[in-house]
Every structure is written in C-alpha cells, then in structure tokens.
C-alpha cells in the first residue's frame, strides 16, 4: 500500500496541518537514536531536526570522537538544536546498563527510541549465486533482498554472546527493558523503531539457535529476530503506551555496504544501480532516502501502526521518496517464544555481570 511521499500532494495538506498542530502541542519531544554517528542514523537526525527544532535529540554511539563529529555537523545546519551525546556500545551489555542509567538520570520520559545501530561483519558475496540469480527470473527479488548472496563471519563478545546477535538484537532488547520507565508513562505514548532489513529471512532464524551460532547468515537471522521481537513488544507493551515498529531503509551506500564492496566499486556501478532502481524502488542509495520510513514513522500516531508490517523506505526511478508497507512473515507463537527466551537470556546475562562485579570487588 502506498502511504506517504515527501513530494507533498495537494490532498495531504489537511493531514499536514493536523500533524503540525499535534506537533506544536508536544514540543520538546525526547528522541534517542543508536548508531547515530553515520549513515542512515545520522541522516535521520538531520531530518528530525529540520522538522522539529525543539527536539531533544540524544545520539547514542560507541565511538566518542565520531559522535562528537556527528553532533558538530548537526549543529552546523541547526545551530540552536538540543543535541546531546551518550556513550553506548550496544554489543556490550555492561555498556547498555550504564548508558540506560545515565539516560534515566537525564530524561524523565522518552518519546522515540530508534534502534538503528547494526553490523554486518566480514561479508562475503557469493558470485556464483549472483550470476545464477541474474538469469533465474528472480533477479529483482535478489536485488531487493540480497537473498542467498551474502554470508558473514561472526565472533564472540566479552559477554560470551555472538557479536551480530548482541549488537543487532540483544543489546537493543536490554536497552528497551532498561528504559521501560521512560517509555511507559501513564497518559503518554512512545515509539520504539527498529532498523531491520529486507534481508531478514525466516529460514535463517531458529528458536533452537537464537544467536545463529551454527549458520553463516547471522545478519539475516538477527534482523528476522528484530521483526519477531517488535511484534512481541507490541503484545506486551501496547497497553502501557509503548508501540514498536520495524523499517527497512533499502539498499543504502554507507559504511555497512562499503564493507561488502569498496566505495569506488559502488561509485563505478552507480549508473547500473540507478537503472535497477527503475525496477525495484528498493535502491534508495543515499542515507537521506534510506531514512524515509524512519522519518515517516516519526510523524505517525503510534496507535495507527500495524504490528504485522514492515515499513519500507523506497525511491522511485525519478528519485521520489515514499514509504510502503509489506506484510512480514511472522507469527505470534514464534514471536512469544523468542520473547520468553530473551527474558531468560537477560536473567543469565544480568547474573553473570553481577557475579563478575562481585569477583572484581574481591
């Protein structure tokens, strides 16, 4: 379903006016974005500040220098904006607990939590699968999802978790749990927005191997898990005013994709990608375009969102951005089972960290 466009049409004027009235009534909204120092996250911050100068924007990043540079670049275009930094390595559970404590001290509520940080370590492209896919009649599907083309090499974190799972999913889950008091406030609704992917595939995920220790597609598995988890969060927290959604930014040129092919190769094949964009619309290519669905959700009433769909940023052949929904291949039973498993894992991680502290103090 076509649901939005930045190239405003006449008919959307009334809706826009309504939205701006709502916006004025709620100035000073608090927005936290993980992985905000580059790519889609940074572009989102730019777009949010252009829309609402009163925002209290918090960039949650693991690298202080990159975060300070991102803040500086935002302040150049928005000199009066309220932009603060928080140190957060979502792949380290100790860092998540520390950052959450700091956030709870700084703010008394949180309106938007963008769970955007993500990694795809050591990606390998399967060239044979690529050539086969080109002539299989499924080329468009292959270009829009990358299905079957990519494998990654995962590693284990200091917490003993698989790195991709810890970063893309579990650290964010723990963050939501820790920020519950700020997100769930009486008479007030909040949005949790996950940057998922079209690469999320059911077949790469297993409840028996949540962390994807056994496979070679941890990225796809972690993104599918985020789709499931978003549904579970809705089931658990909607009654407390928390609404969760997932988006896909499309294929965007960022540090993540520069890990797949070097940036000069992407630049060389750019004309081919513009051509492919005519057929798929998923080649959003720039971080600004990729942030479309994240920005679109910022302007929606959370109660109106559908927990079973993914919101896709799309860019037409002529370069127009819009957001479109696609039904996800998820179900309540698997989603609830994942949630229970994550709660169990959370207990174990908390205990391990506490025991570690005691050991350290001895």
Ligand X SMILES: CC(C)CCC[C@@H](C)[C@H]1CC[C@H]2C3=C(CC[C@]12C)[C@@]1(C)CCC(=O)C[C@@H]1CC3
Ligand Y SMILES: NC(=O)C1=CN([C@@H]2O[C@H](COP(=O)(O)OP(=O)(O)OC[C@H]3O[C@@H](n4cnc5c(N)ncnc54)[C@H](OP(=O)(O)O)[C@@H]3O)[C@@H](O)[C@H]2O)C=CC1
- Give the β-pairing of 321-327 and 309-315: antiparallel
Number of residues that bind ligand X (CB under 6 A): 18
Question: Using CA atoms, how far apart are residues 221 and 270, in angstroms rounded to an integer?
Answer: 29
Q: Is 269 in the site for ligand X (CB under 6 A)?
A: yes
Single out the residue of 5, 23, 66, 102 in contact with ligand Y (rule: CB under 6 A): 66
Q: Is 88 in the site for ligand Y (CB under 6 A)?
A: yes
Number of residues that bind ligand Y (CB under 6 A): 30
- Give the β-pairing of 30-34 and 56-61: parallel
Q: Please, what is the minimum distance in Å from the beta carbon of residue 260 to ligand X? A: 5
269 touches, from ligand X, ligand Y, none (C-beta below 5 to 8 Å by class): ligand X
Q: Could you give the residue ranges of the DSSP H alpha helices within the chain?
A: 13-25, 39-51, 64-77, 93-106, 127-134, 139-145, 163-165, 171-178, 180-183, 218-237, 255-258, 263-268, 270-280, 287-290, 292-298, 332-361
From the list 61-69, 174-182, 193-201, 311-319, the region that binds ligand X by CB under 6 A is 193-201
From the list 4-12, 33-41, 257-265, 347-355, the region that binds ligand X by CB under 6 A is 257-265
**Contact criterion met (CB below 8 Å) for 308 and 330:** yes
Single out the residue of 167, 191, 197, 284 in contact with ligand X (rule: CB under 6 A): 197
- The three-class DSSP label of residue 59 is strand
Q: Is 260 in the site for ligand X (CB under 6 A)?
A: yes
Q: Give the H/E segment covering residue 30.
A: strand 30-34
Taking CB under 6 A as the criterion, which residues in 217-276 touch ligand Y? Answer: 248-249, 251-252, 254-257
Taking CB under 6 A as the criterion, which residues in 89-148 touch ligand X? Answer: 125, 130, 143, 145-146
Q: Is 226 in the site for ligand X (CB under 6 A)?
A: no
SS (H, E, C) 111-157: CEEEECCCCCCCCEECHHHHHHHHCCCCHHHHHHHCCCCEECCCCEC
Q: Is 322 a catalytic residue?
A: no
Which residues lie closer than 8 Å to 283 by C-beta, 6 or more apart?
143, 250, 251, 273, 274, 276, 277, 315
Q: Is 314 in the site for ligand Y (CB under 6 A)?
A: no
Q: Is 197 in the site for ligand Y (CB under 6 A)?
A: yes
Single out the residue of 60, 149, 210, 253 in contact with ligand X (rule: CB under 6 A): 149
Q: For the window 101-130, what string marks contact with ligand Y as x by the rule CB under 6 A? A: ---------------xxxx-----------
Q: Is 199 in the site for ligand X (CB under 6 A)?
A: yes
Task: Select 215 or 241, whichever has its Cβ closest to ligand Y.
Answer: 215
Q: 112, 114, 219, 237: which is the annotated catalytic residue?
A: 219
Q: How far is CA 282 from the centre of its chain?
A: 16
Residues with a known catalytic role:
219
- For binding to ligand Y (CB under 6 A), which residues are involved? 34-35, 37-41, 61-63, 66, 88-91, 116-119, 167, 195, 197, 248-249, 251-252, 254-257
């Amino acid at each position: 379903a076509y649901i939005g466009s930045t190239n405003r049409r006449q008919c959307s004027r009334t809706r826009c006016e309504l939205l701006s009235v709502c916006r004025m009534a709620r100035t000073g909204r608090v927005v936290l974005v993980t992985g905000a120092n580059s790519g889609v996250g940074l572009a989102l911050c730019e777009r949010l500040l252009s829309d609402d100068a009163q925002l209290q924007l918090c960039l949650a990043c693991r690298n202080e220098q990159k975060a300070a540079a991102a803040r500086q670049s935002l302040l150049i275009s928005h000199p009066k904006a309220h932009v603060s930094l928080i140190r957060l390595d979502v792949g380290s559970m100790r860092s998540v607990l520390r950052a959450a404590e700091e956030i709870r001290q700084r703010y008394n509520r949180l309106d938007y939590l963008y769970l955007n940080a993500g990694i795809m370590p050591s990606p390998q492209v399967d060239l044979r699968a690529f050539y086969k896919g080109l002539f299989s009649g499924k080329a468009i599907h292959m270009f829009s999802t990358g299905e079957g083309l990519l494998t990654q090499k995962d590693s284990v974190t200091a917490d003993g978790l698989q790195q991709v799972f810890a970063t893309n999913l579990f650290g964010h889950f723990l963050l939501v749990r820790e920020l519950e008091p700020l997100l769930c406030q009486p008479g007030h609704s909040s949005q949790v927005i996950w940057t998922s992917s079209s690469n999320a595939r059911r077949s790469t995920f297993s409840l028996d191997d949540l962390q994807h220790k056994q496979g070679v597609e941890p990225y796809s598995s972690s993104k599918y898990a985020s789709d499931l988890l978003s549904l579970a969060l809705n089931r658990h927290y909607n009654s407390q005013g928390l609404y969760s959604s997932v988006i896909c930014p499309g294929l965007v040129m960022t540090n993540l994709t520069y890990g797949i092919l070097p940036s000069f190769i992407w630049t060389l094949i750019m004309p081919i990608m513009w051509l492919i964009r005519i057929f798929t619309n998923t080649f959003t290519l720039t971080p600004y375009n990729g942030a479309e669905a994240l920005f679109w959700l910022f302007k929606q009433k959370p109660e109106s969102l559908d927990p079973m769909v993914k919101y896709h940023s799309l860019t037409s052949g002529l370069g127009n951005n819009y957001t479109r929904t696609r039904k996800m291949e998820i179900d309540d039973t698997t989603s609830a089972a994942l949630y229970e498993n994550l709660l169990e894992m959370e207990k174990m991680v908390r205990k391990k960290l506490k025991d570690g502290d005691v050991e350290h103090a001895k």
